[in-house]
Structure formats: structure tokens, C-alpha cells
Amino acid sequence: MDSVELLVNVTPNETRIALVDTGILKEVQIERQAKRGMVGNIYKGRVTRVLPGMQSAFVDIGLEKAAFLHASDIVSHTECVDETEQKQFVVKDIAELVREGQDIVVQVVKDPLGTKGARLTTDITLPSRYLVFMPENSHVGVSQRIESEEERARLKSLAEPFCDELGGFIIRTAAEGVNEEELKQDADFLKRLWRKVIERRVKYPTRSMLYGELALTQRVLRDFVGMKIEKIRIDSKLCFNEVKEFCEEFIPEMVGKLSLYAGNQPLFDVYGVENAIQIALDKRVNLKSGGYLIIEQTEAMTTIDINTGAFVGHRNLEETIFNTNIEATQAIAQQLQLRNLGGIIIIDFIDMQAEEHRNRVIQSLEEALAKDRVKTNVNGFTQLGLVEMTRKRTRESLEHVLCGECPACHGRGQVKTVETVCYEIMREIIRVHHLFSSEQFVVYASRAVAEYLINEESHGLLAELEVFIGKQVQVKTEVYYNQDQFDVVVM
């Protein structure tokens, strides 16, 4: 039987939450106070630029980068509209919808990613445990994941009386089976929240935040309410009390699952989470059979290469390849969720001759991805034998949250060899020699490069260079230099 636990590790200005399923780390979410996620925040912004050619506008909401608003996001809610009405819906020209200098209330739907600013919508929503509030809309919609038509009709009839001039609601998946009183509590809470936003809209100046999303821990509990979580362990008493208060008000059935961890050993160490996070930052992922994956994340896409490694199988090569690919599908699904990789993903499975094997690998991959809470789409094998798939981008990947660009290679993943740098230094000395009159040169270089230049017995590079230019060359070690960093000084 599966045992799902949420582990909450709190340190000053950082909260980390790990979802552990039967001892295996499935998901990690990290929130740092200095870089707190913005999705769900509501701002009073100002349109700074309208781009008719792109059908979009840039809005200043008080951040370093202007946020992006597309014409299709300046619309009334369509989630609750009948399909026939949706087909007739036409997005107006951006120039008819907004103008430069206009103040506008917007909500962030996507955090800034890389060089891109936040993405906005005027289609504001406020989520709670069972409902999503839609200001200035009279519709009631029901989550498509609630499949029973009878239950959908019941929930819709319960929620319709809550709609008024303030707005309407979408009924979330977690509401399945709940009673009228529970829905009413959520509806009243969301209306109080929206009234507060309306007050601030009048009082607050432009480029102000009118509403901030819940903290990570409360947000995760709200979103995981439908999951069968056995235990929620929190290692901070302050956070534990805040979460307990939140659960008592909004998710009472989770109160009994809360547990304050007070062990001497760090919580994440006890469950092996720290080690699993470090492994998730490596390119290589070892499979139990001896095979391995190589995961390369780039700006444009993520590529995954599968290799048999030490796995030789017991019968024949085709069986070995097939078994490795099947095992890889489980590891790929786990790593995509753990690393939170989104966008285009290209998988290079080991070539298989049998069409049946290829179909079974695709089926295995789809079954493994079905457990992912984020939407995925597998397109099957291409003519080159690659599998194309997509996974919805929700937030920054684990690598982007925890890592930065290498100061030595500047993101290339490679640095010049010591020998290459030595020859660059020699060419630079010759270039400077022709441009300036000098008595000698002093080279400042990294330790490895300096030692290579000085080692006359094996290379004799400096001796030959000094003869060639007729000048003395002195080498000094600069311990803080990267391998490909150097200076040539004229004396």
C-alpha cells in the first residue's frame, strides 16, 4: 500500500516541501522569501506599451521587468460557457481593449521565467479549497475531472445560490461529495477576500499589490487536498501553528495528519530527501539494471538519452534494449516531476526493431506520466526514432531554482583545456610584442596554466617563445583566476 507523506522543512527565509511516496521523493517545492512566487497575486498596474502586431501589451506592476498581457487574456471567463458559445467567441484587437497610460487590475498567471517577464490576465480568479471565485461573473462551472453527471448537477445546484453581483464560481475537483455548508463557507471566505481587494483598488496607488497568494505550505495543502496523504511533518513550531490554524479553518480533516517533527537529525536527512535532491541536479541518472539516463536541460528544450550501460540481459540484445527502455520510462516520469521540467522534451530511447516493443514503451511511458499532477502529452516516435512530448510549464525547474550559471564556462558546460589557454597566451604575447616596445612580459594565469607554462622539462614553451621574440617572459600564479582567464602585462 502506498504511503504518501508531506515533509515541510523551514529555515529563516526559506521553506521546502517534499512529497514522498513509499519512501521515494516525487516532488520538491521551494519558496524563498526574496524570490517568492507571484502566480495568483493581484496588482494595480499601468499599461506602458501596446503592441498591435503582437496583439499584446506591457504592464508595469512595480517589478524589475514589465509584465506581459496578451489580448486573449483580456476576456470574460470562458471556463463556464457552453461549447457552442465558446466557438462564437472572438478576441478583440488589443488596441480596442487597452491604451497606453491606462491603470488596470491584473493577476499573474505565470512567474517570470529566464528573460521573460510575468504573464498577466484581467480574468481574475481567487481559489479556495472547493471553489474558485470569478469576480463580476454569474456563471457556475464544474471541474471536468468530476465525471458523474449526477454529482455535477448536484454541486451546481448547491453553488448557484452563492452567485450575486460580486461574481460566480468554478467548483473544484476536491468538492466532490461535499455538502452545502462546506461550499458556503468557502464562498463566504472568497467574497470577503474580494471585497478587501476592491477596497485596496481604490486606496492603493498604481504599481501596488492588491492581493498576495498564500504561503507555500498553505498553498500546497490546499492543492493536495484530494490526495491520500498519511502524514504532514513540519520541523518548525511557528510554521506548524500557522498551518494548524489554516487547516482548522479550511481543511479540518487534515488537522489530525499534522505532526511537529522534533528529532535531532534534520527532517530531510531522515527521509533521504537531501541526497535525492543532489542526485536530481546531476545529468546522469542510474537505473537499477545498470543502464542510465543523461538529462540535458536547455533554454529551448530538454533532451533525455537512454543507455544500456552495464546491463547485458540474459537472453539477447533486443530483450536487453527493451527492458532498459521500459525501466527508463518509470525513471523519466519520476525525474520530470521531481526536476519540474516543462516545455518540449525529446527522448532518445535505445533503438528497437520490433514495432510491438515500441508501442509497449510508449504505453509504459504514458501510464507512468498519468500519475503526474501536471498535464503531459506524448506524441509517439518520430521518423528518426525519437519520442516527442510536452509537459506544461508551471514554475521554474529545480535546477533553475537551486543553480546558477557557472562563472568558469558561462553556461557552456565546457572550459578550454590548459594547453589551449597556453597557446592563446603565446599568441597574445606575440601580438603585444609587435604593437609595443618592452623589455619583458609578465603573465598572470590560473595555477594549472602557470604550472604547464613553467614546466620546461616536458614542454619548453616559454624557452622557445623567449628565443622567438628576444624578450624574457615571467609567469605568476593568480589563484582566483578561472582556467581560461589570464593577463599579459608589458614591463
Task: Please tell me the chain's helix, strand, coil percentages from 3-state DSSP, rounded to the nearest 5.
Answer: 35, 25, 35
DSSP 8-state code for residue 116: B
Q: Which CATH number applies to 282-402: 3.40.630, 1.25.40, 3.90.930, 3.20.140?
A: 3.40.630
259-293 pLDDT, tens digit each: 999 989 999 999 999 999 998 999 999 998 888 99
* Local structure of 174: helix, strand or coil: helix
363-407 pLDDT, tens digit each: 999 999 988 877 788 998 988 889 999 998 767 888 888 888 887
Predicted confidence band of residue 80 (pLDDT cuts 50, 70, 90): very low
Predicted confidence at residue 375, as pLDDT, reads 78
> What's the rounded mean pLDDT across residues 337-348?
93
Helix (H) or strand (E) holding 423: helix 418-435
At position 254, the amino acid (one-letter code) is: M
Predicted confidence at residue 45, as pLDDT, reads 94
51-77 pLDDT, tens digit each: 998 889 999 998 888 899 998 888 654
Partners of residue 260 on adjacent β-strands: 234
Predicted confidence at residue 91, as pLDDT, reads 66
Q: Which CATH number applies to 41-211: 2.40.50.140, 2.40.110.10, 2.40.50.100, 1.25.40.10?
A: 2.40.50.140
How far is it, in rounded angstroms, from Cα 427 to Cα 416?
A: 15
Q: Residue for cell digits 516545455?
A: 343
Return mean pLDDT, the chain: 86
Write down the H helix ranges in 340-393: 355-369
Show the cell assigned to 371: 500519475
Question: Which of 334, 322, 328 is closest to 287 using CA atoms?
Answer: 328
* Local structure of 445: helix, strand or coil: strand
At position 171, the amino acid (one-letter code) is: I
pTM (2 decimals)?
Answer: 0.68
Question: Which of 35, 61, 4, 55 is closest to 395 using CA atoms?
Answer: 35
How far is it, in rounded angstroms, from Cα 225 to Cα 177?
A: 13
**Vertex 183, ends 7 and 248: CA angle to 5°?**
40
Q: Quote the percentage of the chain above a pLDDT of 90.
A: 45
Predicted confidence band of residue 82 (pLDDT cuts 50, 70, 90): very low
Superfamily of domain 418-490: Ribonuclease E, catalytic domain (3.40.1260.20)
Q: What are phi and psi of 178, to 5 degrees?
A: -80, 165
Instruction: Pick left, alpha or beta for residue 207 (phi over 0 → left; psi -120 to 50 → alpha; otherwise beta).
Output: left
Cβ 210 vs Cβ 126: under 8 Å: no
How far is it, in rounded angstroms, from Cα 161 to Cα 154?
A: 12
pLDDT higher than threshold 50 for residue 87: no
Cβ 473 vs Cβ 433: under 8 Å: no
Q: Domain-by-domain residue ranges, the chain?
A: 4-36+215-273, 41-211, 282-402, 418-490
What CATH number should be reported for the domain whose range is 4-36+215-273?
3.30.420.60
3-state helix/strand/coil string of 311-345: CCCCCCHHHHHHHHHHHHHHHHHHHHHHHCCCEEE
Question: Which of 182, 168, 161, 166 is closest to 140 using CA atoms?
Answer: 168
Q: Which of 61-75, 83-97, 315-329 has the lowest mean pLDDT?
A: 83-97
Longest dimension (CA), the chain: 95
